[in-house]
Structure formats: C-alpha cells, structure tokens
Structure 1
C-alpha cells in the first residue's frame, strides 16, 4: 500500500421507500428558506412524479418554481434558462428530479446562477465558478448515472458536442434515494440505466486512479446489480430489488467521483456525440467491444469483477476467470432485452474516421487516459469498426427475458 490517496463525499444520502415525502423539511433545513426551483424533464412531468414531489414541498409551504425544458443529453441553453429562473425568483435551493440529464442541469444551473456568465463560459473548466450560494438536493428516478453524488456534469454545446464541467462544490448537498420513484421506469430504460451504473463500477475499480475504497464501492455495486437486475425486469414492482439497484447506482457514482471512468465512456460519449444515442446503451455497446481487451491487461481486478458478476471460479485460472467475466457481462445484457442495434442511427462504416476523431478529442482524453490499458489510434479505430459493423446488423441482438 505505497500509494497515498484521499476519499471524501460531500453529499448526505437519505434512503428509503417514500423518503421523498419528507423533502419539504429537507429544503427548509438545508437552505433555511421556503423558496426552491425544481428542475426535471417532460417525461417525469407526464409520469406524475413531479406532482408527487411538488405535493411534498407544498405540504411544508415551500414556494416552488418548476423548470422542465430538459432533454436527454441536455444543451447549454437549458442550463442558462434554468439559471435565470433561479436568479429571478431568489431561490436558495435547487432540486434535480429525474435521470442524469435533469440532475446535471440542476447541479450546473445552481452554480451558474451564482454568477453572470452563461454555461459555456465554464465548459471544460475554462473559467472557475463563483462560490456556491445555493444548496442542491438530487432525487434520482433511475438507477443509473449516480449524478446524485458526483461533482461533474455533462452537457452539449450548440453544435451538439459533448463537454464537461466540474467543481468540488458542484457535488449535491443531499441525495434522496427513494426506490418508489423508479417503479414506473419502462423496462428498456431500467436496463439501459442499470448497465450505465454497472459500467461505472467496472471502470472505476479498474482505472488508474482506483483505491481499495473505490474497489469496495465498485465491487458491491456490481454484486447488487448482478443479483437484482433480473428480479426488477421480471417484477417491476419489486421495491426491495429496485432499492438495491438504486443503492448500487449511488455507490457506483461515488466510485467514479473519485476514480473516474475509462475507455467505455470515452467511446460511449463519442457515440452520443455522433448520434445522440442513450448514454446507458452507448457505454454498454462500448464495454462489450472492449471488455476482453481490458481484462487481458488487468487480470487480477477483472477476476474479482467476474466473481462479483456471479462467475463460478472453480477450476479456472485467474486469467480464465477474468476473461469469463466478458461472457457473463454479455449474457446479462442479452437477458435484459436491451436493444443494442445502431440500425436506426444512420451510422455505418463510413463514419469510422469521424468516430475516431471524436474519441481522440480533448473532452474525451481524461477517460481514455484513465483506462487500465492505453488505447492507441489503431486500437480505437478497430473498436470503432467493430461497433459500427456489429451493432448495425440487427435491430434485436438480444435474447430478451421480458
């Protein structure tokens, strides 16, 4: 144990079925105010989950403004719109309700609102944020991104190029993990978001910044996902299993907060830039293309991951066990029914060079360089070719359990 490291979490975590009903008290305690802005998306509004949260706030006489102009892979313009509402109403608390997009807009807008500049002023941290003056509470409705505990956000510029912003104070003050809020999530989104969390956990504990604490969070997240994803897909109302997936996503978020991600996220973000593919689907495709290649370079940790995924290790060498994890991962994806086809995305082998260019761009460098195995341009080009050729062949590559 020659390496030194630090591990900290700025976010208070509150877990429980219907824990979100106490949200009004949380707002008052954290902000010492009765004004808040709720940032969510149209799907959450339609599903009635925003009404659930608004009711909990109104019960405590919280004055609430709602902003829901948030799309998957949010745009900088949405962040600016939300920040202006926060400024104009004088809110001291911002709530993010939804998946990673809504929570990222909420986290970023709360900091942008403290200054006078637009969101793109802070892209890739070209400029620092003003000191945080508005508290934030995140309420995830998926078990995927872990954005409820991270200090990083992802958004797109006007050219749909994905960029990042980060700051220690961007980490939410509180995360409310309520399994009840994930119960209405459709099967495809349940699968896609859960695999996003699984990829987070795998990449955090195999990356160059990993530590024993990161490994502990990651491996437990992998165990919880492997043991509960089938249960949730078979029985969407199984709140105990959904709770375990929700905790897994939060733990995986804490792991990437400290350990970062790797090649699957580099590739996945590039796919999202090219075709606006759902992030969970994109990183799943990417890890399937790179799993064996990575496992060959980090045998010991990938053997532990295989055990956490449920691979039986009797009679296997450590390397055989590590490589067997790739088959187990692929089987889990197939059984989930997650559609990995890119057939409808207008991508083909003609896009390989563009795909490579985005993977090698400045914004994707941290993920690429943190990976357990360094990818050359030739490696990346081969991954791009494999993904575009394999994922475009069929609309349904999976043996669905649904």
Structure 2
C-alpha cells in the first residue's frame, strides 16, 4: 500500500428542511448578516430561489440574488457573478442548484478577491488571491458532488471546457436537504444520479485510488444503486432522495481525492462539441467504455459490482463478477430512461474524428491519464464511433 493524504475540507449538514437554518449558518460562519445567493433561472422560475431568499431574510440575513447561470457555465457568467459579489461587499456566498450554479458560486467567490477575469485562472495558469469569502453550497440535484470539491469546470471564450482548482475552492459548508430535489424532473434525476455513480466508480478504480477513497466511493455506489430508480419513479420519496443526495456527496469526496477517468474525458469532449448535458454525456460514455475498462482491473471492478449488488457471490471468477457490474450498469441506464442517442444534439458518425480529437486535447488529459486503463488514440477513435453510431 502506497502513502496517501486524505482530508475532507467541507462540513456537511443533512436533514429534511435543513435549508430553513441557512440564515444561522451564514451568521455563525461569518459573524455578519450579508450574503449573495447564486442560482439559475430555472430555480427562480419554480420558486425555490424565493423560498431560500425568504428563509435568509426572515433569519435576519440581507441577501442579494444572482441568477445569470446556465448549464455548463461560462467564464463571462462567473465574471458577472464576481462583480456582484464585489459590489455587495459580502463575506458569504451561497450556491443553490446543480453543479453549474455551485461552480459559478465557488469560482466567483475567489475571482472577486482580485480584479483579474476568470480566464486568468483557467487551468490554474495563475494563483488566486487569498480567500476572504465563506462559501455555503446547497445542491438541488444529486449528481455533481460540487458541494464538497475544490474544482470547477467552465467554458472559456473559445467554448472549450476548462478547469480551475485550488484547496480554497472547497466550500466551508454543504447543506443537504432532500426536499430541494423533489421537483427535479425524472430525466435530470437519472442523468445527475448516474453522474454521481460514475464519480464514485472512476475514483475507486483510478490510478490515485486508496483505502479512504474506496471507503467513501464504494459506499456511494451502494447508496446510489439502491435509491436511483426509486427516486426517479417516486419523486416525493424523501428516503430515496436522501440516500441519493448523501451518495452523491460521498462520490464528490471520492473524486476530490481520486479524480475521474475515461467517461469524464469523453463526457467533457461531448460538452465541448455539442453542449451535451454533463451527467448524460458521462453516462452515455461509460455505457460504451465499461467493458473495455475490465481487462487488468478485474479485482477492483468486482468490488464495484458487489457494491452495486450485482449477482452476489455466485460467480466463479473476478472477471465474471466485474462483467456482471457492467451489465448491471447498462440495465440501470436503460431503466432510468436515459437517452443514449446523441442525434438530437446534431452529432452523427461524421463527427467521430472531431470527437476523438477533443478527447485527446490537453484539458482532458488528466482524466485520460487517471483512468484504470490507458486509452490509446485508436481506443478514443473506437469510442467516438461507438457513441455516434448508437441509434
């Protein structure tokens, strides 16, 4: 066993209607009573943002709303949020939503500490100014784990998906409230839940894995495997929603330490090419790559299969168990209703070369390199053809 360092930097609070205590969280974290709430237009439209704003204001917190956030956020949106944070002179930023809103909140909190634009920090070309603003993340999906990670993803001016990372990007508090995920439509519950499972799976099997990553990652897989379909079929099932939310958070802890792999390499390339929803993109990618991952990694993928509950101990070999996990995953994708064809995004077999080239780009290299099996250029070409030929 090689040496490792594992630290959970974010306090986690879970409970039904826990979000009603948010004003006290702001005051106890900062000693003040001002905050900026970063969210997306969808949550404003359905009234969730207003409910959170009301809870903050009733608790004595002066809250400013920023909602110019889109799926797969842009550097321009983060710059706009940072300007609102500067102008509001707050000591706390709250991210409410899925990974996009939380990533904007996290990165804007640090960008606001200096006058440089967001792209100054893309791929960490330059360091951030010291952190002065506390961060509270409140997820409304169970997928990204962004509430406990110190990384963000955004699109630059050239529409390429790039990364930012720094220990200071880790939120100070994550508030998990299953009531906030009840209104999530079935197709998004499926896409985000599968994304969370893949986070755990890729962290557990990746090159940087260790006993601590396996502990949180395998537990995440157990919780997500056992709750995803119930959450899709019974949206108001708070037990299933809670299991899914905690599983997603644990998966976030796993990727914080262990990173991701080939499904995310492919998924980010699909996001760059056609803005395919991130959760769906990585779920489709693993559907085609899971079996390819098995040779040489039978033992750990058998552990993953057991965590899924795939077939018990009835298999004669580790390879059979690992392949049962792959079959379980494909069934889960099918039963979740996730759409595998990418035709609606305008992609077809003629785009295979561009897709493979984007997978091989510098911004996707960390995921490609961390995967349990290294993908050669010809492997990337095969993945691209498989994805884009799927009817």
TM-score, length basis structure 2: 0.99
The aligned runs of 1:173-252 (5 Å cut-off) are 173-252=172-251
Which position in structure 2 is the counterpart of 1:142?
A: 141
1:317 partnered with 2:317: yes
Bigger Cα displacement from structure 2, 260-269 vs 28-37:
28-37
**TM-superposition CA deviations, 1:233-276 (whole Å, max 9, x none):** 22110101100000000000000000000000000000010100
Bigger Cα displacement from structure 2, 311-320 vs 41-50:
311-320
**TM-superposition CA deviations, 1:304-356 (whole Å, max 9, x none):** 11111111231431111111111110001101111122111111121111111
Which position in structure 2 is the counterpart of 1:355?
A: 355
Which position in structure 2 is the counterpart of 1:400?
A: none
Cα RMSD after superposing both structures: 0.8
Which position in structure 2 is the counterpart of 1:263?
A: 262
Which position in structure 2 is the counterpart of 1:67?
A: 66
Cα deviation for residue 297 of structure 1 reads 2.4
Match of 2:343, SS state, is: coil
The aligned runs of 1:330-349 (5 Å cut-off) are 330-349=330-349
Cα deviation for residue 151 of structure 1 reads 0.2
Which position in structure 2 is the counterpart of 1:399?
A: none
Q: Distance in 2 between matches of 1:31 and 1:315?
A: 54
Which position in structure 1 is the counterpart of 2:21?
A: 22
Cα deviation for residue 100 of structure 1 reads 0.1
Which position in structure 2 is the counterpart of 1:276?
A: 275
Which position in structure 2 is the counterpart of 1:84?
A: 83
Q: Distance in 1 between matches of 2:203 and 2:315?
A: 28
Match of 1:341, SS state, is: coil
Q: Distance in 1 between matches of 2:20 and 2:10?
A: 19
Which position in structure 2 is the counterpart of 1:40?
A: 39
Q: Distance in 1 between matches of 2:296 and 2:354?
A: 27
Q: Distance in 2 between matches of 1:11 and 1:348?
A: 42
Residues matched between the structures, number:
390
Which position in structure 1 is the counterpart of 2:304?
A: 305
Which position in structure 2 is the counterpart of 1:396?
A: none
**TM-superposition CA deviations, 1:68-112 (whole Å, max 9, x none):** 000000000000000001001101100000000000000000000
Q: Distance in 1 between matches of 2:231 and 2:72?
A: 26
Cα deviation for residue 277 of structure 1 reads 0.5
Match of 1:303, SS state, is: helix
In structure 2, the gaps of 5 or more residues are none
Which position in structure 1 is the counterpart of 2:383?
A: 383
Match of 2:51, SS state, is: helix
Which position in structure 1 is the counterpart of 2:369?
A: 369
Which position in structure 2 is the counterpart of 1:57?
A: 56
Cα deviation for residue 222 of structure 1 reads 0.6
**TM-superposition CA deviations, 1:220-240 (whole Å, max 9, x none):** 111111111121122110101
Contact 2:315 / 2:321 at 8 angstroms: preserved in 1? no
Cα deviation for residue 147 of structure 1 reads 0.1
TM-score, length basis structure 1: 0.96
Q: 1:198 to 1:128 in 2, by over 3 A?
A: same
**TM-superposition CA deviations, 1:164-217 (whole Å, max 9, x none):** 000001000000000000011000000000000000010000000001110111
Bigger Cα displacement from structure 2, 316-325 vs 134-143:
316-325
Q: Distance in 2 between matches of 1:344 and 1:284?
A: 16
Contact 1:200 / 1:261 at 8 angstroms: preserved in 2? yes
Q: Distance in 2 between matches of 1:377 and 1:51?
A: 49
**TM-superposition CA deviations, 1:346-378 (whole Å, max 9, x none):** 111211111111111111000000001111000
Cα deviation for residue 144 of structure 1 reads 0.2
Q: Which runs of 4+ in 1 moved over 6 A?
A: none
Match of 1:344, SS state, is: helix
Contact 1:296 / 1:323 at 8 angstroms: preserved in 2? no
Match of 2:171, SS state, is: coil
Which position in structure 2 is the counterpart of 1:160?
A: 159
Match of 2:345, SS state, is: coil
Which position in structure 2 is the counterpart of 1:106?
A: 105
